[in-house]
């Protein structure tokens, strides 16, 4: 089985067991983190399965490294895209302000 979370409520913390790459990882987390961790583990396990099927990856360590690279590069690219967008918006706002200042 690729995914499982076992919930045990301990005060304001949750104790969960998360399965990634057929290994169980016990974690103590804030309840607000549970959904993100669940979705992340599903994403990792799905990618591992994809790498194993499409690229004949047999070693879990290699599959995990490939997952880490893909997820990290995707996150970094999104960050770069967001930076570019923000810079573009700032430039456009600056131009609009200049135009308004000239008309005043």
Q: What is the pLDDT of residues 25-79, one digit of tens each?
A: 999 999 999 999 999 999 999 999 999 999 888 888 999 999 999 999 999 999 9
Sign of CA dihedral 74, 76, 81, 82: positive
φ, ψ dihedrals at 60, nearest 5°: -60, -35
3-state class (DSSP) for residue 56: coil
At 2, is the pLDDT very low, low, confident or very high (cuts 50, 70, 90)? very low
Least confident range of 4-13, 41-50, 55-64, 92-101: 4-13
pLDDT beyond 50 at 3: no
Residue 4, pLDDT score: 47
Greater confidence, 58 or 82? 82
The pTM for the full model equals: 0.67
């Amino acid at each position: 089985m690729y995914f499982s979370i076992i919930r045990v409520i301990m005060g304001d913390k949750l104790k969960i067991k998360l399965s990634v790459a057929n290994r169980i990882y016990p974690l103590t987390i804030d309840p607000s983190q549970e959904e993100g961790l669940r979705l992340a583990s599903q994403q990792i396990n799905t990618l591992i399965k994809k790498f194993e099927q499409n690229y004949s990856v047999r070693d879990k360590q290699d599959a995990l490294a490939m997952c880490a690279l893909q997820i990290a590069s995707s996150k970094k690219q999104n960050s770069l895209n967001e930076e570019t967008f923000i810079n573009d918006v700032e430039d456009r706002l600056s131009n609009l302000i200049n135009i308004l200042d000239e008309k005043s």
